[in-house]
Amino acid sequence: MGSRDTVILHMRAALIVFVLWSLSCTPTQTVVRFEAGPGVQARASAVRVRLYRLPADELFYDETISLGGDLPERQVPVSPRDDDASRRFRAEATLFERGQPFASAAVEAGFRSGEQREVWIVFDDVCVDVECPPARTCLNGLCQPLCVGPSDDPRDRVDCGSTPPPDVGPPDPVDMGANDQGADDGGAPCDCPCGGDVCTPDGNCAPSVALRALDVGARHSCAIDTENRLWCWGDNREGQLVGSEIVVTEPTLVPVADGTAVVDFAVGGTREAGTGFTAVIVQGSALYTWGASPNGRLGRTGDPRQPGQVEGSWSSVDLGGGHGCGTKGDAMWCWGAGDSRQTQREGDTTEPVQTTATIIGLSLGKDHTCAWSRTTGACMGAHEREQLARPDPADATVAERQRLAPVPAPTPDDRPGADTFRYTMISAGAEHTCALGVSGSSGPTWLYCAGAGAEVDFRLGLDVTLDVNFPDRSLAQLDVDWRSVSAGWTHTCGIDSADTLRCWGDALLGGEPIASDLPASATVPGSYQAVSAGNRQTCAIDIDGRLFCWGESPLGNLGLGSVARAATPTRVCFSDD
């Protein structure tokens, strides 16, 4: 449901590299610039840029830039250490949509003594779904070598390999090996908790299975790795993980459509047994669902315990407590439980029905549905705890409070630029909703929440325990530029532009349940790229692709191999055997 760090659109990034020269006398320098085609720009909310010195892979630049729907031209000037033009570097760019990475590109380049070069990384629409082998990237729909060397031809390429490009010279020799004790030559120890981890020269543990997205549900969870494979764990009473085990306490590979690459996925259900279900979109745009089948929540008929295809060609999907929605292009279709009109229909529906919304993103809560376009955000469904972020008359009936059509969320007016404010992401939790928004084309991304404040849990991040019916800026005491947010059942987590993970509400940190309205007091150590808040558990992926989970685990919800709870973030291991 909406507790995950939202959906993924699978797209192979296109990379075009132009090498240009300045004829003037300038210091030795290479300027890295970033652009994207209009189709990619429409999806991108942030770009992360990382630069590494080669051959040691030494990170020397790391910045995440909020884009607000546009990817303007960026530039990063790079100068070689000690003005040594023989040095080389690798530039990596990752685009994020609603907090999740959906496209990446990389290029290796060097310098030319006394000259300024420009290296352009362009995410091109024409290369969507073009898959290239290692060390190559897509250019004009074709796979081209990744490495670039100096030349008078701006489109010249030099294939990657042991032979250095012309006029660049050999790289500096660096011993990257490890000793018998699992440490590099500098003595950094490697005490890796997971089998298959690789000890890096700086003493860190690189995972054998690196993740890129996850969705933590009320009773089960799933994630996909960088090879686009689906892993799941937790409750399996309804076959929502596939297989015969009742409870799966460790991440298990779930093959769908004969192992076809997964491009989007979601888990759904409530705290009650017999409600869990799962949805996956595979390469080729086919949607499969399986698990509990009451209320038509699978969007199809047939065997509910095996992945079955939902008719149509799909681009994204999300699941709620008993309903599901997906997109075909920019049109939203919904199915399943309609008791709160969360599908824009009164009553249940087994087959997907098109709604009136035109969107670029969606997020489903337990009994409500939210979506956003380039200009506004809107929600429909249950509103008894003000989760639709819309004030109602005091005498409004239940039917009047349940929206039959997406109702635009009010624009916050508590800061300059409110007239140009737009939502960039919405996360629908069980009974509250949080959103990210910006004013104008630049500036920080603010976090707003509305809905159930409960009596003690402070899930909205506000200094109140009352329900809030208007988007209120959370954490106003913190000057934080937010990149993503995940609303769970009774707590909320978010990641800022510095990759810092903060959680607030009724979460498990420090050994006992705590209620905190100050996310600064519940900052999770480390740097993170994705987070998903569930029922009484949370999982997050760090920038190296490792998974950490904490909280309650009565059904193996944490994937740690047991049903014991974890009071602090604990590494989850994956076996590729």
| 401 DSSP assignment | H
Cβ–Cβ under 8 Å, residues 435 and 426: yes
* Residue type at 397 in one-letter notation: T
* pLDDT tens digits for range 54-72: 888 788 888 877 765 455 5
Q: Which residues pair with 147 in a beta bridge?
A: 108
Give the CA distances from residue 451 to residues 263, 371, 384, in Å, rounded to whole numbers and listed in that order. 31, 16, 9
Contact 559, 541 (CB under 8 A): no
Report residues of the chain scoring pLDDT below 50. 2-25, 69, 149-188, 393-408, 414-417, 453-477, 510-514, 517, 519-521
Q: Which residue in 434, 372, 510 sits closest to 4, CA to CA?
A: 434
Q: How far apart are CA 367 and CA 381, in angstroms?
A: 6
Show the tokens assigned to 391: 């004030």
Residues 383-401 as b or e (16 or more Cβ within 10 Å = b): bbbbbbbbeeeeeeeeeeb
The residue assigned the tokens 């508590």 is 414
Residues 6+ apart with CB under 8 A from 423: 372, 376, 377, 409, 435, 436, 437
Between strands 116-123 and 368-372, the pairing is unpaired
pLDDT in tens, 332-361: 999 999 888 888 888 899 999 998 777 889
What is the pTM assigned to this prediction?
A: 0.65
pLDDT at 267: 98
| Under 8 Å between Cβ of 530 and 524 | no
Q: What local confidence, expressed as pLDDT, does residue 26 receive?
A: 54
Q: What is the pLDDT of residue 441?
A: 64
The pLDDT value recorded for residue 284 is 92
Which of 266, 341, 337 minimizes the C-alpha distance to 297? 337
Q: Where do the domains of the chain lie, and which CATH numbers do they carry?
A: 19-145 (2.60.40)
